[in-house]
Amino acid sequence: MISVIVPTRDRPGPLHRALRSLARQTYRRFEVIVARDGGMPVGQVIARWQREMPITLLDGDTPYGVSHARNRALAVAQGENVALLDDDDVFLPHHLQVADDALRTGRADTVYGQALVSPTWIEDLPRGTHSLPRKDYPFDATFLGIANTIHTGSIVARNPAASPVRFDETLQHCEDWDFLLALHHTAGHRFARLDSITSVYHQVPRPGAVTSAYRTSPTPFTLARDTLYRRWPAVGDLAEEYRQWFRHFDQRLDGRIALGLPAPAHVYEQAVRGLHATFTAHRPPDHALLDRLLPNDLASRTGQIPEADIPLKGAVHAAR
């Protein structure tokens, strides 16, 4: 059985769509655990779907964060496998079935489908998906220590109840990335990518975790990435070079935001896509990519210290 964990706060409409995507699953041996992390009540939304599938509501009026909500659900999950679904994302109908099929082979402990990244609310694959970004990277443990290539809502994993792995409740951003790293390095999970798009990751232009994070400088992503880089050492000099590239990326993006400039749409996804290509080719990171994504013209426009003159913690000066 698969336990599907759905944290939620103040998004009854998206939660309804997320649950509808579960009701459409071709695989039926699953339970749903909805963990309300404060916000408006969701009893009516849950009641709408309880005849379709078994749903447990873990109600909570005090918001402690998404990591706490997921950990509450993990504590009561009965399935030998667990799936994660944020309340504003959806599973495609075959998601749980293909994940279960892959786990039954015994060749992996965590599997993940490819995720379509959509700027609008969709519940099915549109006819033309080529123009939309996606998270569809083959698993690479070393690169996962540089950037998160796996969408949280695309994974189905062996239940980690017997291991110490849980979501870090001190992290409000990148907690899912930290969880994946812990599954691999602490619980020893073997990862495998599925061969199809199985979920939709919504990044709609509205106030939310991502858009809100890009309104302050340094962004919470900058701070969380620094925490994870210190917690999980880089594997090799090349990986450390790529981490240094991301430190420059964060520095430039933070500089733009400090001046009131918006973060370019999907800039992180574009950075990961470009770096993954050069990393898998065993080449140094492409600094021209950084200039294309985030031109370093803020110093000349504002009189700020040039980026090259700012010392970076943990900088690596690798021989070229």
Look up the pTM and report it: 0.90
- Domain end marker among 171, 202, 233: 202
Given a cut of 50, the residues of the chain with pLDDT beneath it are: 300, 302-303, 305-320
Residue 8's domain comprises 2-202
Q: Is residue 315 part of a domain?
A: no
CA gyration radius for the chain? Answer: 20
Is the domain of 174 the same as that of 266?
Answer: no
Q: Is residue 222 part of a domain?
A: yes
pLDDT at 208: 59
Q: Is residue 108 part of a domain?
A: yes
Is the domain of 129 the same as that of 224?
Answer: no
Is the domain of 11 the same as that of 147?
Answer: yes
Return the biggest CA–CA distance within the chain: 63
Q: Is residue 318 part of a domain?
A: no
Is the domain of 48 the same as that of 143?
Answer: yes
Domain count across the chain: 2
Is the domain of 73 the same as that of 123?
Answer: yes
pLDDT at 35: 98
pLDDT at 314: 34
Is the domain of 195 the same as that of 62?
Answer: yes
- Domain end marker among 169, 202, 235: 202
Q: Is residue 53 part of a domain?
A: yes
Q: Cα–chain-centroid distance for residue 107?
A: 23
User: Side chain identity at 228, as an amino acid letter?
Assistant: L
Output the CA angle 13-180-146, nearest 5 degrees.
Answer: 110
Cβ within 8 Å of residue 64, ≥6 positions away: 37, 38, 169
pLDDT at 206: 63
pLDDT at 211: 67
Is the domain of 186 the same as that of 215?
Answer: no
Is the domain of 168 the same as that of 233?
Answer: no
Q: Is residue 256 part of a domain?
A: yes
Among 10, 113, 101, smallest CA distance to 63 is for 10
Is the domain of 188 the same as that of 213?
Answer: no
Distance from the first to the final alpha carbon of the chain: 51
pLDDT at 272: 96
- Domain end marker among 187, 202, 217: 202
